[in-house]
Amino acid sequence: MERLHFANKKPVESESQIQQDLIFKNLEIVCEITGPEYLWCMSVTKAIENIEASSVDQIASHLNQLVADSYGLLGQLHLAHWNVEGTDFLPLHQMFQDQYEELFVAIDDIAERVRALGKYAEGGLQKLATMSKVNEGPSASAASAKDFVSSVLLAHEVVIEQAVAGRKIAAEAGDAESEDLLIGRVRIHQKAVWFLNSYLK
């Protein structure tokens, strides 16, 4: 049996108890035998029943890719924050920090949406680095302020592209929650691109 993750896990003694859960709690139940005494049952509410079932894997895959690309951007922002120099050091140093602090929280929201869909969020530095479509940043010791800004800008654009693609799929599948999350991400990254482009003019 495919192992699925749901919100609640509990031991039951008989199938009749499972039936009671189905009737009185309106839960979908997936069970497997884990020992001579118990069936382990995992239950999920019908919170995602409005989403096209065939699209859930695709939405989760796009969200996981967004997590990976966002981590790539996070790395670029840290690199720029730590190493930017010059007359614009203070405003750029602060801007990069503001962006990576916001992004760190957002990544958690994206990954938790994957879990809410009943799928697993990707993680681990090597795994995410392999998945990410964000290119490596400039040399820390040789890059100018404009080099860092340009690199971060390109990383934001990669994230926007992924978020837009996922937003369209979520909308077509009737996943309003993922669509709303991705609309917010696109808006935030587009604003960041505006700031960065304005600096480069």
Q: Read off the CATH number of the domain in which 64 is found.
A: 1.20.1260.10
Helix (H, G, I), strand (E, B) or coil at 41: strand
Same domain, 126 and 147: yes
Q: What is the pLDDT of residue 54?
A: 82
In a domain, 2, yes or no: no
The H or E element containing residue 90 is helix 89-116
Same domain, 12 and 79: no
DSSP tally for the chain: helices H, then strands E:
6, 3
Same domain, 107 and 74: yes
Range(s) of the domain holding residue 34: 8-44
CA angle 58, 179, 112 (to 5 degrees): 70
Same domain, 29 and 108: no
Q: pTM higher than 0.95 for the full model?
A: no
Same domain, 85 and 124: yes
| Alpha carbon distance 81, 97 (integer Å) | 6
Q: What is the pLDDT of residue 47?
A: 54
Same domain, 73 and 22: no
pLDDT tens digits for range 27-76: 444 444 445 444 444 444 455 667 877 899 999 999 999 999 999 999 99
Q: Which residues of the chain have pLDDT under 50?
A: 1-34, 36-45
In a domain, 176, yes or no: yes
Same domain, 15 and 100: no
The total of structural domains in the chain comes to 2
Cα distances (Å, whole numbers) of residue 5 to 108, 116, 159, 160 = 18, 9, 28, 29
Same domain, 38 and 97: no
Same domain, 89 and 129: yes
